């Protein structure tokens, strides 16, 4: 029968990534009543579970379509129709909850109720369900819940161990993460990469690089058990880009050389990470070469190339790259405009920068954020338009943060505007900002104008608030 539960279930399993077909099958299930429990089928256990199987297939299908809200809504319909969930119901539901931002209400409010439902339905002992909740609690920052659930598992599998490694890394407890890693009977590339990611998340980039080196020399890799994947390369290249210690560029080049030597496919994210590395390290030629050789470029790739050009004194080329990106049919995002507005600020392209800022909501549907306002303030300030910059700040729809006021303060130093600096000093003291750089810049403004009493008073305020200047350093790589 074309509309029988069995045939519709097969269609759902066949068209898991086809939105129109999934919606058509969903409509048929609703109109035929196959999602409703049938009291006449209580004698047959096979028929009794038909609605549960169909709901499970729908939940997985909408999750695969990237619709976590619909996935979670289907579960409420499932409960409303009194269809009993089973162990196969909960893993995709947990993924749907985790797909939401940890700060938003769906993920943070649904974790505990979903877990309670799994316990109520007798599914909480299933290893896949347990691992899913360990991962969910990790994403929500509830490492104690992750640990408690993990310790209840008699023989946690490698997936569960990796989820627990991630939870510990997210919480900053790298000591416990390393302890768990060493006690794992079996490790895969996810295990190694998760530890690297843990160091990266906690800003311990040098240790992330060292852990990658340890991985490359370990018997797991030399014996062919483990092989670096895309996530591994992106993590270590990101660490090289952000590492303040010497040798980071050398290490990044070593990773790049390994990728080429072993004929590893250069994915979008790997290529983007390489462009970021070379751009930040001043090797613009290498960044351009990687960019030109990439067969597929996403918005993030273009963003990184624009930033690299601007960072290396090629501001007009960065703007040209922005225009080229649009001709390629790619839609700029918030990060794109931070990059191109920064380029305009560095080149003092005031009219173009303001035009781009105004185009964000009108032409691209992007609401400017604090970073974009900070770029415009920097743009006006660098050009010496301090009064216009102050007026622009007064029109902001929200209170300016330290980055915005810091951009104006830096302009005051460059152009010697002590009058405006005095106003910023009052804001700085009233807001109790902890950014030592802003105090130092303001103090230098006063010193440059030979207003020694103001400079001394500001340094005294820093001392009273326990704010210390971070020593500068130079690095040759």
Q: Which comes out higher in pLDDT, residue 8 or 333? A: 333
Half-sphere exposure of 19 (CA within 13 A, CB side): 4
Asked whether the CA dihedral 307, 308, 314, 316 is positive or negative, the reply is negative
Q: Which comes out higher in pLDDT, residue 100 or 384? A: 384
Instruction: Select, from the ranges 10-19, 70-79, 398-407, 460-469, the one with the highest average predicted confidence (pLDDT).
Output: 70-79
What is the distance between the alpha carbons of residues 439 and 442, in angstroms, rounded to a whole number?
5
Residue 105 confidence (pLDDT): 46
Residue 311 confidence (pLDDT): 94
**How far does CA 276 lie from the centroid of its chain?**
16
Close Cβ partners of 436 (under 8 Å, ≥ 6 residues apart): 462, 467, 468, 469, 470
Residue 461 confidence (pLDDT): 60
How confident is the model over 295-305, as pLDDT tens digits?
999 999 999 99
Lowest mean pLDDT among 68-77, 106-115, 131-140, 403-412: 106-115
Residue 434 confidence (pLDDT): 46
Residue 43 confidence (pLDDT): 46
Question: Quick one: average pLDDT of 78-95?
Answer: 89
Confidence of residue 473 (pLDDT cuts 50, 70, 90): very low
Residue 40 confidence (pLDDT): 54
Confidence of residue 279 (pLDDT cuts 50, 70, 90): very high
Percent of the chain with pLDDT over 70: 82
Is the confidence at residue 3, as pLDDT, over 80? no
Residue 319 confidence (pLDDT): 96
The token duo for 74 is 């289907």
Please count the other Cβ atoms lying within 10 Å of the Cβ belonging to residue 171: 20
Residue 49 confidence (pLDDT): 66
The token duo for 71 is 């996935």
Residue 193 confidence (pLDDT): 96
Residue 449 confidence (pLDDT): 47
Site of tokens 């289907």: 74
Is the confidence at residue 369, as pLDDT, over 50? yes
Question: Quick one: average pLDDT of 133-145?
Answer: 86
What is the distance between the alpha carbons of residues 109 and 465, in angstroms, rounded to a whole number?
39
Instruction: Please give the mean pLDDT across all residues of the chain.
Output: 84
Is the confidence at residue 206, as pLDDT, over 80? yes
Residue 438 confidence (pLDDT): 52
What is the distance between the alpha carbons of residues 195 and 201, in angstroms, rounded to a whole number?
10
Q: What CATH fold (topology level) applies to the domain 187-296?
A: 1.25.40
Nearest to 323 by CA among 302, 295, 300: 302
Domain ranges for the chain: 1-32+50-99+113-124, 187-296, 394-470
Q: Which comes out higher in pLDDT, residue 52 or 215? A: 215
Residue 104 confidence (pLDDT): 46
Lowest mean pLDDT among 73-82, 107-116, 301-310: 107-116
How confident is the model over 389-426, as pLDDT tens digits?
989 988 999 888 777 877 887 787 777 776 776 666 66
Is the confidence at residue 328, as pLDDT, over 90? yes
Is the confidence at residue 70, as pLDDT, over 70? yes
Close Cβ partners of 473 (under 8 Å, ≥ 6 residues apart): none
Q: Which comes out higher in pLDDT, residue 415 or 293? A: 293
How confident is the model over 242-253, as pLDDT tens digits?
987 678 899 999
Confidence of residue 51 (pLDDT cuts 50, 70, 90): confident
The token duo for 103 is 């700060």
Percent of the chain with pLDDT over 90: 47
């Amino acid at each position: 029968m074309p509309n029988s539960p069995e045939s519709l279930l097969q269609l759902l399993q066949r068209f898991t990534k086809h939105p129109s077909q999934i919606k058509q099958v969903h409509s048929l299930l609703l109109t035929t009543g196959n999602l409703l429990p049938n009291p006449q089928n209580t004698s047959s256990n096979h028929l009794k579970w038909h609605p549960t199987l169909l709901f499970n297939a729908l939940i997985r299908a909408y999750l695969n379509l990237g619709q976590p809200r619909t996935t979670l809504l289907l579960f409420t319909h499932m409960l409303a129709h009194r269809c009993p969930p089973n162990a196969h119901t909960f893993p995709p539901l947990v993924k749907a909850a985790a797909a939401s931002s940890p700060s938003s209400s769906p993920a943070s409010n649904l974790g505990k109720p979903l877990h309670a439902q799994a316990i109520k339905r007798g599914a909480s002992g299933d290893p896949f369900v347990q691992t899913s909740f360990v991962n969910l609690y990790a994403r929500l920052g509830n490492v104690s819940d992750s640990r408690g659930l993990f310790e209840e598992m008699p023989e946690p599998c490698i997936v569960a161990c990796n989820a627990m490694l991630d939870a510990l890394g997210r919480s900053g407890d790298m000591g416990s993460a390393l302890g768990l890693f060493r006690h794992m009977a079996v490790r895969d590339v996810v295990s190694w990469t998760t530890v690297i990611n843990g160091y990266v998340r906690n800003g311990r980039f040098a240790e992330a690089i060292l852990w990658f080196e340890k991985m490359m020399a370990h018997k797991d890799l030399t014996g062919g058990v483990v092989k670096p994947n895309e996530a591994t390369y992106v993590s270590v290249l990101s660490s090289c880009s952000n590492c303040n210690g010497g040798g980071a560029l050398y290490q990044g080049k070593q990773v790049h050389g390994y990728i080429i030597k072993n004929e590893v496919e250069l994915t979008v994210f790997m290529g983007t990470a390489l462009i970021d590395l070379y751009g930040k390290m001043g090797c613009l030629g290498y960044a351009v070469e990687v960019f030109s050789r990439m067969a597929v470029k996403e918005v993030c790739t273009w963003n990184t190339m624009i930033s690299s050009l601007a960072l290396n004194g090629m501001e007009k080329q960065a703007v040209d790259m922005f225009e080229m990106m649009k001709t390629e049919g790619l839609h700029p995002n918030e990060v794109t405009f931070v990059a191109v507005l920064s380029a305009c600020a560095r080149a003092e392209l005031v009219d173009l920068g303001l035009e781009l800022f105004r185009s964000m909501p009108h032409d691209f549907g992007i609401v400017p954020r604090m970073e974009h306002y900070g770029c415009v303030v920097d743009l006006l300030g660098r050009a010496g338009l301090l009064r216009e910059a102050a007026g622009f700040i007064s029109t902001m729809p929200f209170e300016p943060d330290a980055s915005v006021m810091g951009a104006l303060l830096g302009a005051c130093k460059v152009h010697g505007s002590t009058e405006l600096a005095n106003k910023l000093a009052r804001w700085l003291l009233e807001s109790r900002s902890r950014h030592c750089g802003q105090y130092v810049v303001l103090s230098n403004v006063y010193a440059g104008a030979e207003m020694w009493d103001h400079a001394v008073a500001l340094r005294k305020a820093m001392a009273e608030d326990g704010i210390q200047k971070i020593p500068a350093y130079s690095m040759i790589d």
